[in-house]
Structure 1
Amino acid sequence: MAKLQADVDNILFEVTPKVKELAKICEENNRIEKELYTKYEVKRGLRDLNGKGVLAGLTNISDVSASRVVDGKEVPCEGNLYYRGYNIKDLVKGFLEAKHPGFEETTYLLLFGNLPNKTQLKEFQNILAERRTLPPNFVRDVIMKAPSRDMMNGISRCILNLYSYDKNADDTSIPNVLRQSLNLISQFPMLMVYSYHAYNYRRGEDLYIYAPYPELSMAENILMMLREDRQYTKLEAEILDMALVLHMDHGGGNNSTFTTHVVTSSGTDTYSTIAAAMASLKGPKHGGANVKVTQMFEDMKNTLTNWEDESQIRQYLVDLLDKKVFDKKGLIYGMGHAVYSISDPRADIFKAFVKQLAVEKNCEAEYALYEKVEHLAPEIIGEKRKMYKGVNANVDFFSGLVYGMLDLPPALYTPIFAAARIVGWSAHRLEELKNVDKIIRPAYKPLAPYRDYIKLDDR
């Protein structure tokens, strides 16, 4: 039996010599010369050389602004992010000064288009609180069975399983999709935290499953459910809440939100749509980048003999671009953005709180290293690479450091991003259903010549 299992594992989960041989054939017959993309004016990544996206739709939900018109010419400017027309900096300042959580208020704004008054906000908080529950035995039957080492995959599986419990799962009317969206937004922290605990339990750690408290905010419940002693500080909850708000949405063209539009346009159900968006966000070029930043800095700290030596830091960054260190992909993670060329407003907001948290957590040396890399990286990238637009620290650059100082496990860095972005996905899905009735289908130019069929005996 053991040998049989080993044989099965080898076939299913190992890249065998035969598969390697076939992979070489696959690679060779899938190669397209890069010059052809230029010849046929293909916008790779659906962006031009300056990073500007191809116009694929219209939205009222959020706007990413990184340029302005001066003397008839478009020039880069400090980046700004708007939710329903409100500058993200003003929204964050507003709820911080009022000393109340921002997640629920901003969720209302993105879903319904306006900021709520006190009565509306209280009612909405109650709506979300009463939906922080899962179907009977869902934790035992779904979450505890075959937990995944990758939380994004585990959560996606949970979301797809929720389809089976919904008697109106395929109804794509606005009221029903709103119901499903409110459920998933409220349930997501439970799916995330419980999946994490279930995986740890399978590895021999203690299991504790805490129900959320209706009187707590989304951020407070995440911290409470995550920690065995249920304890968290006011500053920790405040910063996590702010992080959720900053990650809620980022225009209609970011990869996972565009995925939401594409999949919604096919007419499929909400659970399939959100699972598809999750698959997109998981990628290291999208939501998974915050984990890569953290891993990169861990490698950097282990490599440098002196964190304050700028020449050592510079050499490490050069080696990163030359594919000599870390994952040898030639990337400085957390630097650069498809839209922003001068500054990422989310990173600017984060940075102010990172410094405050670093002092409280006695992490000033680590913060200083991040600052040095933030300063040096754009210069080094400019020296080593052909640049079409500016490079700056993006939100992922600081978010991993923040989550680390909040004692959040790296396995949950991207899921926390998703716990926020599911609000934006839901808003965009509702907008797509309301306004567009055509399936999204861009064109691809075929390059393969037509050939006559050859019978098997003649090949």
Structure 2
Amino acid sequence: MSLLGASRTAARFVNSKNAACLLIASRNASSSTNLKDVLADLIPKEQTRIKNFKQQYGKTSIGQITIDMVYGGMRGMKGLVYETSVLDPDEGIRFRGYSIPECQQMLPKAPSGEEPLPEGLFWLLATGQIPTQEQVSWVSKEWAKRAALPSHVVTMLDNFPNNLHPMSQFSAAITALNSESSFARAYAEGVNKAKYWEFIYEDSMDLIAKLPCVAAKIYRNLYREGSSIGAIDSNLDWSYNFTNMLGYTEPQFTELMRMYLTIHSDHEGGNVSAHTSHLVGSALSDPYLSFSAAMNGLAGPLHGLANQEVLVWLTHLQKELGGEVSDEKLRDYIWNTLKSGRVVPGYGHAVLRKTDPRYTCQREFALKHLPNDPMFKLVSQLYKIVPDVLLEQGKAKNPWPNVDAHSGVLLQYYGMTEMNYYTVLFGVSRALGVLSQMIWSRALGFPLERPKSMSTEGLMTLVGAKSG
């Protein structure tokens, strides 16, 4: 069966401008519930497809690099292959060609649940196929089976001081889990390159399984007096076990977490955390080391800290203006923020030129479950006012809200008020995207990433400019 003509569904995305991501099989092309078996079938076909493509088009130019791009953090450069998701400026993120609303509709859900299970998204990211309920259940049970933490990691987490940031603890624990790496052991024993992906797969599955335990342990130690996270229940899904370990038993919070872990999973390959894992992994560092490096990038204020900054800004706004506030007063507050040289956090995006679909699905969740929450009502009011003010100011390329404008409000509503911890949740989710990509990076034999750097003097010489 042809990879690109296997079904009408696959053909629709091949013809779409968003089909640059890997389309390796039709929807539900495999009935196997074992993800590794499905990948073992797909990988040789994709290796052949890319080999043929490179032979025919390998010398074709795909863009122009400008001096501004070099100084601007390589923004906009087409410089790496990342299969699992593509970010379109007008449509937002697509996971293997599927939009967020399509994923919400098509991915399997928990019994009586309405939000997609992250296990299903991981299957989609890894294979390009919408999984069946049985395949998702297999992933849930597989992750439950692999979830136990080694004792030395538990001891290390228990010995961390309370003033060590949750993200520092998270990153350190992931690095220490490197002791469990199947890939590191196999590489030391001289495993054939063709089998690299199999050991990366095993490490990725183990790491994703263990992340909720690590994250919950950090949360309990810092905010719940070191109480036990309890045991994994193999009959529950990944998110359900995670919220239980955190100590949250409200079913709606579990539904929120399923949605949160799904929509934060991937945002193509150029963002700091995804690119970092891709770069470090290209050195054949195992998934634990690569993902730990990615989490150090995610911890930066310009990446994963944004939802916390939004909540801080909203809280200050509420304190200064009081409860319900008129549109006019809110507009004045926004203008004062901008005139003082600050930004309105949660608005604008480096790539998107519309309202972030991840914001929209969170807004829809809030409209359904917490329509009268004062903080949500404030967020909705800002959604009505801020874009017009930013357009009037004339500086913002994108005046619309991004994912961070909403997520902290939802977490706070259900009682998770510890803002320093929010990026850890983001990190648990991001593993789904970057680790599914890492499996394919090793399967396709992507080389060591080594771009050429230049000095300012060298750039001036290159373009014929006079130094000084």
Q: 1:285 to 1:395 in 2, by over 3 A?
A: same
How does 1:339-418 map onto structure 2 within 5 Å? 339-359=351-371, 362-363=372-373, 365-387=374-396, 389-408=397-416, 409-418=418-427
Contact 2:69 / 2:77 at 8 angstroms: preserved in 1?
no
In 1, are the aligned partners of 2:122 and 2:436 still within 8 Å (CA)?
no
Does residue 427 of the first structure (1) align with residue 436 of the second (2)?
yes
Render the CA deviation track for 1:210-254: whole Å, top value 9, x for unaligned.
Answer: 122222222212221112xxx523222112101111111111222
CA positional deviation for 1:263: 1.2
Between the aligned partners of 1:274 and 1:307, the Cα distance in structure 2 is: 43
Match of 1:44 among 55, 72, 77: 72
Going from structure 1 to structure 2, the CA distance change for 1:170 and 1:437 (only over 3 Å counts) comes to farther
Runs (4+) of structure 1 exceeding 6 A deviation are 37-40
Aligned residues: 381
Secondary structure of the corresponding residue to residue 70 of structure 2: coil
State the alpha-carbon separation in 2 of the partners of residues 149 and 112 from structure 1: 38
Residues in 2 aligned to 1:41 and 1:284: alpha-carbon distance in whole angstroms? 22
| Superposition CA RMSD, Å | 2.4
The runs of 5 or more residues in structure 1 that have no matched partner are 1-36, 48-52, 67-76, 324-328, 450-459
Secondary structure of 2:370's partner? Answer: helix
Q: Are 2:288 and 1:250 aligned?
A: no
Tell me whether 1:160 sits opposite 2:168 in the alignment. no
How far apart in 2 are the matches of 1:339 and 1:207? Answer: 42
Write the deviation string for residues 87-140 of structure 1: whole angstroms up to 9, x where unpaired: 22111123459745511111111123322234333322221110111113531x
Q: Residues 49-68 of structure 1: matches in 2 within 5 Å?
A: 53-66=76-89
Displacement, 1:447? 3.0
- Give the letter for the 2:302 counterpart: K
| Alpha carbons of structure 1 residues 306 and 40: separation in structure 2 relative to 1, 3 Å | closer
Distance across 2 between alignment mates of 1:91 and 1:321:
36
Deviation at 1:292, TM superposition (A): 0.7
Which amino acid letter does the alignment assign opposite residue 347 of structure 1? Y
- Counterpart position of 1:142: 156
Partner of 1:219: 239
The CA distance in 2 between the partners of 1:41 and 1:142, in whole Å, is 42
Q: Identify which of 334, 340, 355 aligns with 2:346.
A: 334
Q: What is the 5 A alignment of 1:17-166?
A: 42=70, 44-47=72-75, 53-66=76-89, 77=90, 79-94=91-106, 95=108, 99-100=112-113, 101-136=116-151, 138-139=153-154, 141-147=155-161, 149-166=164-181
Does the 8 Å CA contact 2:140/2:236 hold for their aligned counterparts? no
Structure 1 Cα separation of the partners of residues 169 and 297 of structure 2:
14
**Counterpart contact for 2:158–2:221, Cα < 8 Å:** yes
Contact 1:321 1:332 in 2 (8 A): yes
Q: Distance in 1 between matches of 2:68 and 2:424?
A: 39
The SS at the match of 1:81 is: strand
Larger-Rg structure: 1
Q: CA deviation at 1:274?
A: 0.4
Aligned counterparts of 1:82 and 1:40: Cα–Cα separation in 2: 28
Q: Answer yes or no: is 1:179 the counterpart of 2:202.
A: yes
Deviates more, 1:109-118 or 1:235-244: 109-118
Residue 307 of structure 1 deviates from its aligned partner by 3.1
Q: Which of 191, 209, 213 in structure 1 is aligned with 2:229?
A: 209
Please say if residues 331 and 385 of structure 2, whose CA atoms lie closer than 8 Å, have aligned partners that are also in contact.
yes
- Contact kept, 8 Å, 1:307 with 1:313, in 2: the verdict is no
> Partners in 2 of 1:438 and 1:208 — Cα distance?
43
Task: Check whether the contact 1:171–1:177 (CA below 8 A) recurs between aligned residues.
Answer: no
Question: Per-residue deviation at 1:380?
Answer: 2.0
Q: Distance in 2 between matches of 1:206 and 1:134?
A: 16
CA deviation after TM superposition for structure 1 residue 395, in Å: 0.8
TM-score, normalised to structure 1, is 0.77
* 1:60 and 1:84 in contact (8 A); partners too: yes
Counterparts in 2 of 1:168 and 1:252: CA distance versus 1, 3 Å:
closer
SS at 1:232's partner residue? coil
User: What is the rounded CA distance, in whole Å, between the counterparts of 1:157 and 1:165 in structure 2?
Assistant: 14
Percent of residue pairs bearing the same amino acid type: 26
Of 252-261 and 129-138, more deviation after overlay is shown by 129-138
Q: Which residue of 1 aligns with 2:465?
A: none
Q: Is the 8 A contact 1:320 1:330 kept in 2?
A: yes
Does the C-alpha gap of structure 1 residues 174 and 313 become closer, same or farther in structure 2, counting only changes over 3 Å? same
Distance 1:217 1:412 in 2: 22
The whole-number CA distance in structure 2 between the counterparts of 1:127 and 1:343 is 36
> 3-state SS of the aligned residue for 1:209?
coil
* Residue in structure 2 matched with residue 7 of structure 1 by the alignment: none
Distance in 1 (alpha carbons) for counterparts of 2:338 and 2:425: 29
Task: Specify the SS of the correspondent of 2:73.
Answer: helix
